[in-house]
């Protein structure tokens, strides 16, 4: 039996190839499926099964593309009411992949449709050896139950039952391969290890150690981080069956004049993916900025309007192509072009550029302690409560879209996050809202602390 994990940073998504005897299944695949095709070819396996644990909220799944490319059958939760051809699975469903027997458990809670796949390697014995719980159980955490309006308490109770009556009934030696790790917003406090065992989680997982059902429900329905906008969109895209990647428009280079005209029609947004220092130096006026080095997919899915086309500004064609892949992961399929030659070509053509000053920690300190600017901390509330600069105004970066009116446009603003990535996005949103004197605290509160100012 072979289990190979594939991890995507940023969205912290884990998927798996599970195979034996020349055949394999892929569990919870990403949309860019070549990684599985290449791995299966290297192992000499044919991909015959695609297993979905639930309708994923934080990314668009690759089940349709993988099935088309391999002829594999898609297995998905019966309770998900999926609209694409598939084999519905529920409690008691059993099937084999080579020498591996998969038994299905209904494990709702994170979502109403969650299932868990329990794998037994029959070539070695009759005991379960691995479990693929999707987002029901993580390393050090459990799935959040609050993604469906009005259903949080009910789902939290179902999650408690799924964990205690089904998953924890598995033997302690059973390996656990979850669909997400540290950094994902599908839970609250996932550990950094990428796999675990039932026994280890039984002993050390704080959520599993809450024996009282009502206390468990309360703990899972309070203090959760905000859910990004694209979570509900991705669930429905996955239920319908995502468009095949081969049917999506290919990006093409656009000369500055064409790029300007296309951006000016009002049905497209400009997205700069350069690092925040380059964006600050000069950028196409009105651009969003999401640094490729940050949590790009999550924040793109969160703030970009899905009904509009996307025009990219990148340093190279390779960066533009990488951005397209990351945008498609969160269902943003309408990226149509990129600025040929980047911002250099833009200004060489004589077009105006906008700027965001990048302040060092010393410059940030001088601005805010001298009363010359208002400090806007755009981290999540729990980050702010843990540690912040006295006098800062806390507005989470994604909330600036609606809450910028709470800020005085006549006062200079310095925007701060942990390292400078989210704050640069915040600066771009504020500039769109008409704020003129906006600066980015380069290095964020991390640099500010390191300089001795915190």
pLDDT per residue as tens digits for the range 122-173 = 999 999 999 999 999 999 999 999 999 999 999 999 999 999 999 999 999 9
The pLDDT tens digits of the residues spanning 176-193 come to 999 999 999 999 889 999
Full domain range(s) for residue 22: 2-238
- Judge whether 205 lies within some domain: yes
Q: Looking at residues 223-234, what average pLDDT do you find?
A: 92
| Helix, strand, coil percent content, the chain, rounded in steps of 5 | 35, 20, 45
Instruction: Please indicate, yes or no, whether residues 212 and 92 belong to a single structural domain of this protein.
Output: yes
Instruction: Please indicate, yes or no, whether residues 32 and 55 belong to a single structural domain of this protein.
Output: yes
Instruction: Please indicate, yes or no, whether residues 336 and 368 belong to a single structural domain of this protein.
Output: no
Instruction: Please indicate, yes or no, whether residues 210 and 266 belong to a single structural domain of this protein.
Output: no
Q: What is the CATH number of the domain that holds 413?
A: 3.40.250.10
Residue 399's pLDDT is: 97
Q: At what angle do helices 152-161 and 213-220 cross, to 10 degrees?
A: 130
Instruction: Please indicate, yes or no, whether residues 183 and 265 belong to a single structural domain of this protein.
Output: no
Report the predicted TM-score, pTM, of the whole model to 2 decimal places: 0.96
pLDDT of residue 454 exceeding 80: no
Q: Looking at residues 305-317, what average pLDDT do you find?
A: 96
Judging by beta carbons within 10 Å of its beta carbon (0-12, 13-18, 19+), is residue 412 exposed, middle or buried? Answer: middle
CA dist., res. 279 & res. 428, Å (int): 9
Q: Compute CA distances 324 → 57, 151, 180, whole Å.
A: 19, 34, 22
Residue 366's pLDDT is: 95
Chosen domain end from 294, 327, 348: 348
pLDDT band for position 223 (cuts 50, 70, 90): confident
pLDDT band for position 16 (cuts 50, 70, 90): very high
CA dist., res. 310 & res. 245, Å (int): 16
Q: Looking at residues 208-223, what average pLDDT do you find?
A: 96
Residue 305's pLDDT is: 96
Average pLDDT along the chain: 97
Chosen domain end from 238, 260, 278: 238
Q: Compute CA distances 144 → 141, 207, 212, 330, 352, whole Å.
A: 9, 11, 17, 19, 46
Residue 189's pLDDT is: 86
- Judge whether 47 lies within some domain: yes
- Judge whether 110 lies within some domain: yes
pLDDT of residue 207 exceeding 90: yes
Residue 225's pLDDT is: 87
Chosen domain end from 298, 322, 348: 348
DSSP state of 168: G
The pLDDT tens digits of the residues spanning 334-371 come to 999 999 999 999 999 999 999 999 999 999 999 999 88
In degrees, to the nearest 5, what angle opens at C-alpha 196 toward C-alphas 194 and 200?
145
Q: Looking at residues 423-436, what average pLDDT do you find?
A: 97
Judging by beta carbons within 10 Å of its beta carbon (0-12, 13-18, 19+), is residue 283 exposed, middle or buried? Answer: buried
Instruction: Please indicate, yes or no, whether residues 74 and 158 belong to a single structural domain of this protein.
Output: yes
- Judge whether 423 lies within some domain: yes
């Amino acid at each position: 039996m072979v289990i190979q994990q594939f991890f995507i940073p940023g969205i912290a998504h884990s998927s798996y190839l599970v195979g034996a005897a020349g055949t394999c299944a892929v569990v919870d695949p990403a949309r860019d499926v070549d990684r599985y095709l290449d791995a299966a070819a290297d192992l000499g396996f044919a991909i015959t099964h695609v297993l979905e644990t639930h309708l994923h909220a934080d990314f668009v799944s690759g089940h349709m593309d993988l099935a088309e490319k391999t002829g594999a059958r898609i297995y998905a939760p019966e309770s998900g009411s999926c609209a694409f051809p598939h084999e519905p699975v529920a409690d008691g469903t059993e099937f084999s992949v080579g020498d591996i027997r998969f038994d299905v458990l209904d494990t709702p809670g994170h979502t109403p449709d969650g299932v868990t796949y329990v794998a037994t390697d029959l070539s070695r014995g009759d005991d379960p050896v691995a479990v693929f719980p999707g987002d029901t159980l993580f390393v050090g955490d459990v799935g959040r139950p609050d993604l469906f309006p009005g259903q949080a308490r009910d789902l939290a109770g179902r999650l408690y039952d799924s964990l205690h009556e089904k998953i924890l009934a598995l033997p302690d030696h059973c390996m656990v391969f979850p669909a997400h790790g540290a950094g994902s917003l599908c839970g609250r406090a996932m550990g950094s290890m990428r796999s675990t065992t039932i026994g280890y989680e039984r002993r050390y997982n704080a959520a599993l150690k809450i024996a009282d059902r009502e206390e468990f429900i309360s703990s899972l329905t309070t203090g959760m981080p905000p859910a990004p906008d694209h979570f509900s969109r991705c669930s429905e895209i996955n239920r319908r069956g995502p468009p095949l990647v081969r049917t999506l428009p290919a990006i093409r280079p656009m000369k500055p004049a064409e790029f300007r005209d296309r951006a000016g029609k009002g049905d497209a947004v400009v997205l700069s993916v350069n690092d925040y220092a380059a964006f600050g130096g000069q950028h196409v006026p009105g651009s969003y900025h999401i640094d490729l080095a940050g949590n790009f997919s999550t924040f793109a899915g969160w703030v970009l309007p899905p009904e509009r086309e996307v025009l990219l500004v990148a340093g190279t064609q390779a960066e533009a192509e990488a951005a397209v892949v990351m945008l498609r992961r969160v269902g943003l399929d309408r990226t149509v072009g990129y600025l040929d030659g980047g911002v250099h070509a833009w200004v060489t053509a004589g077009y105006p550029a906008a700027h965001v000053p990048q302040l060092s920690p010393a410059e940030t300190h001088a601005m805010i302690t001298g009363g010359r600017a208002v400090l806007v901390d755009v981290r999540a509330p729990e980050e702010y409560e843990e540690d912040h600069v006295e006098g800062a105004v806390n507005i989470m970066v994604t909330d600036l879209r609606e809450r910028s009116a709470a800020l005085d446009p006549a006062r200079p603003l310095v925007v701060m996050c942990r390292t400078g990535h989210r704050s640069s996005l915040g600066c771009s949103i504020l500039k769109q809202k008409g704020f003129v004197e906006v600066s980015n605290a380069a290095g964020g509160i991390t640099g500010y602390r390191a300089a001795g100012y915190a």
